[in-house]
Amino acid sequence: MDAAQKRQALSYPKPTTAWRGEPQLGGWYTEEEIEAAVAAIRSSMDWTGEGFGFIVQEILDFEAAFARYTGAKHAISLSTASVGLDLAMQALDLQPGDEVISPAMNFRAAHHAIIGAGGRLVLCEVDPATLCADPADVERRVTPRTRAICVTHMNGRAAPIDDYVEIGQCHPHPEHGPIPVIGDAARAVGVGYKGGRIGAGGWCTIFSFHTMKLMTTLGEGGMVTTNNDALAERLTAARQWGGTTEYWGSSFKLTKVQAAVGLVQLRRLDEMNGLRIRRALERTELLKDVPELTLPPLPGECGHTYYLYTVFVPPEWAGEKRDRIRAIMLDEFAVGSEVANPPTYDTSPHIRKHTEGQRLPATEFLANRMICVPIHPLMTEEQNAYVAAVLQEAVERVRTEG
């Protein structure tokens, strides 16, 4: 933006509480969600009735709607996405020495799931343009012990699932056949992919309805989609003490009230994502002439929900100067930011212990250049311009500081 536009944008009142780089509330509720929650509670108050139930009609309706929405054959709701990742990994029945490839730039949940299921976590680099697992690097790391490829639709961007599936087909496991692809879509529910939406490709896809996510079921919640009947049966069994099968199970159910709210959120998801995308594209337009910033990619065949709005500073600004930009934004303008995410071995001691000897230099360097600045579908045009102007101002200051 030019100097006059920036001055105007910076006249927005400084927030009294700093805005977070990753807001604590991803979407928002209307009266409809509140009414749905109240109705679900009211329907549970008769002691001769179903109470809050187990797998009640609201849950079945939410799952059916979610399967239709993603185009997947099955949708199995769970208490969190992390549980979905754990159960998917467990369903691989990993043997000692079995490997699962996953990008180092990630949230820790998928890596904990791999290690927890007894797998050897093999870290890979991401494509710096998309922040999703680099297919060429995934392929380089495939061995006869590779049992799964577990990728993340990073920060809301759809990962090229078909590319990983092809790699899995080209390098089948000697005993188990084509390598299954697991997609962590915790940050990407509703994102477009090749004319449809993610959720129907690969072996399974895991979604989160945690409070920070694009839609939420009262703060926690998850869903796994799959076209694989055997996996669907196993996950369904696992979430409720094994059901009528011989599979192990415990209790990982969503509640009736969460499902009732989820149905409304799902109906409103495209609207919420649409507003978020609109703000992101406006912001990209505002910042396009700041030469030091690499802005997030525009949606194409692989869509983007801009769960996080992620920018990069130049390589020579990695680390210290990047941190200085973040400090100016926070201290002087009350605009917070995140680095999402550094390699998981930097943030989780458990993962560090289990990936000893593995370093991903390109990922480490990329993380040192990264800044995620606040975005939300309810952000007004003025608030969005303020964030853009604050980022531009901080970059210009660092430029003149030398």
Ligand X SMILES: Cc1ncc(COP(=O)(O)O)c(C=O)c1O
Instruction: Closer to ligand X by CB, 24 or 48: give it.
Output: 24
In whole angstroms, what is the distance from residue 123 CA to residue 345 CA? 10
Measure Cα distances from 162 to 149, 251, 397 in Å: 12, 33, 43
Tokens of 253: 């159910």
**β-strand 146-152 against 99-103: which pairing, if any?**
parallel
> Which residue, among 98, 137, 136, has the nearest Cα to 115 in the 3D structure?
98
CB 144 within 8 A of CB 121: no
By CB under 6 A, residue 344 contacts ligand X:
no
Residue 82: CB minimum distance to ligand X, A: 3
Binder among 43, 70, 77, 80 for ligand X (CB under 6 A): 80
Residue 66: CB minimum distance to ligand X, A: 15
Residue 204: CB minimum distance to ligand X, A: 14
By CB under 6 A, residue 115 contacts ligand X:
no
> Hunting for tokens 């509670």 — which residue is that?
41
Give the footprint of ligand X on residues 177-216 (CB under 6 A). 184, 186-187, 208, 210
Residue 279: CB minimum distance to ligand X, A: 20
Tokens of 233: 């049966």
Residue 53: CB minimum distance to ligand X, A: 22
By CB under 6 A, residue 225 contacts ligand X:
no
Instruction: Closer to ligand X by CB, 193 or 317: give it.
Output: 193
Residue 110: CB minimum distance to ligand X, A: 6
3 state SS of 275: helix
Sequential DSSP letters for 280-294 = HHHHHHHHTT-TTPB
- Binding span for ligand X by CB under 6 A among 79-87, 158-166, 244-252, 373-381: 79-87
Give the footprint of ligand X on residues 37-76 (CB under 6 A). none
In whole angstroms, what is the distance from residue 123 CA to residue 173 CA? 18
Binder among 107, 164, 193, 345 for ligand X (CB under 6 A): 107
Amino acid at site 11: S
Sequential DSSP letters for 215-269 = S-STT--EEEEES-HHHHHHHHHHTBTTTTSSS---B-PPPHHHHHHHHHHHHHH
Instruction: Closer to ligand X by CB, 318 or 377: give it.
Output: 377
By CB under 6 A, residue 147 contacts ligand X:
no
**Residues at the interface with ligand X (CB under 6 A):** 80-82, 107, 109, 152, 184, 186-187, 208, 210, 222
